[in-house]
Structure 1
Amino acid sequence: MVLFGLFSHLVFSQQEGDTLKLTREYKDSLFIDEVEKPRSNQKPKVLHAEPLYIDLIRDLGARKGEKEWNIGMGMQDMRRYDEFEALIEYEWAPIDRLGLEVELPLSMYSFRNGNREGTIPANRLESLKLATQYTFLVSEKSNISLALGYIHEFELVDLNKLGKGQTFKGNIYNPFFVAAKRWNTNYHTLIYTGPVIEKEFDKKANFGYQINWNFHYMVTGTRNFIGMEINQELEGDKIWTTLRPQMRLGLAENLMVGIVSAIPIGQPDAGLGSFVRIIYEPGFKAIH
């Protein structure tokens, strides 16, 4: 009787586990189908997790009419002082697979604990940033998307110099490539990479290169995820790496919040940091 009871318990547990697995698979399939299924004359789209710190211009495979507001705020420990950053951006898709973006990033600095030795960078509205991104390949069979994009920043002078003469001090040119793949239903990988050329007026250009690696796990049947964004900057023989563990939570159908930590690697002048991104998608409405 004891053996029969134990066997029955094992069978029931197995059936319960199989039922839960099937339920999760059904929810994932339903949600992915909801996001990817084309309506009217729309083109196919593959669901991918989007990084939260260096984000995309628009979803890969974006569809005409999609739009999104972002507000971001963050702080970085720079040992002698703190760096505060903020941004506001608007992105939209005028046609299928083409994303456009306008962004205003702001940086402000403050000495730590009353220490005023040395100097700190001047507060500034960093630039007027304009960007575009086109998804040139969407493979539904392989769950892969590829895109090319370009960011142009019109660099602004420090805040204390605005209105006192020259407004812009140079340009930043940043073409980039994006490749993303979803593995099964929950696991996502993405690479975002390209050169960065900064050219201030009457000065020599600085050349650098960015490589951003991304790994995410998306929670079954939702847009919530946890993951890791790895930002690398290369300039000459130097390389700066920052790990950014992160999570995204849905607060409503069209409102999400992203929470990011910053862990610099091999950067003695930089400590831990944090960043929060508020994501609002006007008109987005889930079906299920």
Structure 2
Amino acid sequence: MRLIMATVLTTVLTIAPLDAQTTLGGATSYPDVPEPMVFDMVRPLGARRGELEINTLVQRNGSGPHAKAEWAPEVEYAVADGFAVELELPVEGLGIAAYKMGLQGTFGTFAGGRGVHGVQYLGLYDRTDRQWRSTLLYLVGFRLDDRWSTMSMIGAGDVALSGRDRSRLIVNHSTFYDLSHTTLAGVEVNMRLGGSRYTMLMPQVHHRLPKGFSIQGGVGAVRDDGEPWRPRAGVRVIKQF
């Protein structure tokens, strides 16, 4: 598994920016597909060079042993057409829990420009167990019509470079409906399968504000392996430059 992830990541770094530039430089345009609120992407697929975003996600369970605030400030930047990088600081309470980085490349469009696909790599250094863990996902977004769209991600997560390999199957799917040109509603489903299972269901609303600001909020439920469903709420505040 580690060898496969290393090979694919090398391919992303060498090929994805070139492929995205070729597509963006021609007549093809990328469909407008929103990003999920919780499993955030590194800018939308097809991002243009120079796009910059800072945002912070705050989440909390309504009950249970993990009922404390979790927040994650991050910065995202498109270093080339169709290729973006991310730096994030996951925080629990008032302490930094991990260091996280992300790389995302866009492969191109399909289905007459209604679909777009790419790949995302996430690397996280856990300060508690002092291990680097990797996640590699295939991303596919689709604009069904003027109002409906979907974003899906599937891949392997929690792959450790040393020690016990606790790799998991990661699946995330979101369906969105545009209520207006500034507001949309959606439902995000996030699943981790294999070993300790995790499922999250998060209905959410996104709203664009003036001057590059936007806000996303949702109330849903999560279930860890062997535990009951628990309420969970989240808010993400975004500033685009």
TM-score, length basis structure 2: 0.82
How far is the alpha carbon of 1:192 from its aligned partner?
Answer: 1.0
1:185 to 1:254, Cα distance in 2 relative to 1, 3 A: same
- Residues 181-208 of structure 1: per-residue CA shift (max 9 Å, x gap): 011111011111111134386x422121
Aligned to 1:138: 109
Aligned to 1:13: none
The yes-or-no answer on 1:84 pairing with 2:69 is: yes
Work out the CA distance in 2 between the residues paired with 1:200 and 1:63.
32
Work out the CA distance in 2 between the residues paired with 1:204 and 1:40.
44
Work out the CA distance in 2 between the residues paired with 1:216 and 1:97.
22
| Equivalences for residues 170-185 of structure 1 within 5 A | 170-185=131-146
Tell me the SS of whatever aligns to 2:130: strand
Aligned to 2:203: 245
Identity, in percent, stands at: 20
- Residues 233-284 of structure 1: per-residue CA shift (max 9 Å, x gap): 1124x643211000011221410000022312586355101110001001xx
Q: Could you say what the CA RMSD is over the residues aligned between the two structures, in angstroms?
A: 2.5
Tell me the SS of whatever aligns to 1:257: strand
The yes-or-no answer on 1:229 pairing with 2:229 is: no
Tell me the SS of whatever aligns to 1:82: coil
Work out the CA distance in 2 between the residues paired with 1:102 and 1:80.
28
Work out the CA distance in 2 between the residues paired with 1:50 and 1:269.
28
The yes-or-no answer on 1:197 pairing with 2:158 is: yes
- Residues 65-116 of structure 1: per-residue CA shift (max 9 Å, x gap): 11111012121134245121011110011111111111111123xxxxxxxx
Q: Which moved more, 1:41-50 or 1:136-145?
A: 41-50
Work out the CA distance in 2 between the residues paired with 1:106 and 1:226.
27
Matched AA of 1:252:
P
Matched AA of 1:54:
F
1:81 to 1:41, Cα distance in 2 relative to 1, 3 A: closer
Q: Is the 8 A contact 1:91 1:102 kept in 2?
A: yes
Question: How many residues get paired?
Answer: 218
1:53 to 1:81, Cα distance in 2 relative to 1, 3 A: closer
Work out the CA distance in 2 between the residues paired with 1:90 and 1:226.
24
Structure 2 unaligned blocks of 5 or more = 1-22
How far is the alpha carbon of 1:141 from its aligned partner?
Answer: 2.0
| Equivalences for residues 46-195 of structure 1 within 5 A | 46-80=31-65, 82-108=67-93, 124-139=95-110, 141-157=112-128, 169-195=130-156
Tell me the SS of whatever aligns to 1:56: coil
- Residues 152-201 of structure 1: per-residue CA shift (max 9 Å, x gap): 112213xxxxxxxxxx7011111111011011111011111111134386
TM-score, length basis structure 1: 0.69
Tell me the SS of whatever aligns to 2:90: strand
Q: Which moved more, 1:77-86 or 1:62-71?
A: 77-86
1:39 to 1:97, Cα distance in 2 relative to 1, 3 A: closer
Q: Is the 8 A contact 1:44 1:140 kept in 2?
A: no
Work out the CA distance in 2 between the residues paired with 1:231 and 1:39.
30
Tell me the SS of whatever aligns to 1:206: coil
